[in-house]
Amino acid sequence: MADVASAVSFASSKRCETERKVKKSKAKKKKKVPKKPVVEINSRKDRRIINEYHALNKKIDSLRRSTSIQMKDRSIQIANLEAKKEKLGGINAYQKASKLGEARHGSFNSAKWILKQIRDFDVCKVNSVTTKATEAKIRLLDVGALDNNYRKHQKWIQCTSIDLNPRSDAVVKADFLKLEGNKLYDVVVLSLVINFEGDVRRRGQMLRKCQQLIMDQGYLFIVLPLPCLNNSRYLNDDLFVSMMESLGFKACARHKSRKLSFFMFRKTGHAKVKSFPKKVLRNGGNHNNFAIIL
């Protein structure tokens, strides 16, 4: 009897073991693997929204400058283009696509690179003679910000984040070109801002505005999509740096990622008045038309 009971017990344990293996096998089969193509599709959708929004803005700016079209017809065409922007989702959809792209690719959070340079170059408040901690903070203006990217560093950075259409309570609604020049900053950041402006002259005005808002010996950080300088018909790195030198800015650091160009400039105060008209630097049909006029 003992042998029979032992045999039954052994058979039962083997059956339980087999059932456990089957359950584990089924569990493995049920385990879902993340589908990368979905991310790729979303990424393509974000890029499409951003590119189409830029293209529509460019057409609108071109129409506003046009003198060959009657005002009534021009207004109708502009209204149609504005309607197309709204159909895309408007500025909210553009900003959402930008933010998702930033989170998804990781290669872009310009604040990381900027903070590294601020530390490496030992940037401090310009002309600071105070010993008060609140007054010794670096005054930083972040233009076109989606959020306050410097919140974690508020002990030593006093950040003012602005945008025309804020998506966060941490961002102030303001037009950069209309800011008063009576408040100066130690650091100004223009990250993917200049390329968003479709008017080549207003891009130049943005650079001049930096000249007005930054303290002497203060710093300017500019981030542009790589093709703006690497594949433009009218602009390259050397010409861009020459433009900045004419405004009294000296290049301190540069960096290129897979998709972006990063620049750090220091305001020397030694400006050399010079104009930079739109001029072809690269011939051929495979170049883009990004340009800045000073």
Please say whether the beta carbons of 267 and 214 come within 8 A: yes
In whole angstroms, what separates CA 186 from the centre of its chain?
Answer: 20
In whole angstroms, what separates CA 259 from the centre of its chain?
Answer: 11
* Cα 278 to Cα 294: distance, rounded to the nearest angstrom: 9
Identify which of 93, 6, 114 has the alpha carbon closest to the alpha carbon of residue 46.
93
Please say whether the beta carbons of 221 and 262 come within 8 A: yes
Identify which of 245, 119, 238, 261 has the alpha carbon closest to the alpha carbon of residue 190.
261
User: Is 144 flagged in the annotation as binding?
Assistant: yes
Q: What is the number of residues in the chain?
A: 294
* Cα 164 to Cα 99: distance, rounded to the nearest angstrom: 16
Q: At a CB cut-off of 8 Å and minimum separation 6, what does 181 contact?
A: 212, 213
Which amino acid does the sequence have at 263?
Answer: F
* Cα 121 to Cα 160: distance, rounded to the nearest angstrom: 21
Bridge pairing between strands 138-143 and 157-163: parallel
* Cα 60 to Cα 82: distance, rounded to the nearest angstrom: 8
Q: At a CB cut-off of 8 Å and minimum separation 6, what does 119 contact?
A: none
Binding residues: 144, 163
Residues annotated in a binding site for S-adenosyl-L-methionine: 144, 163
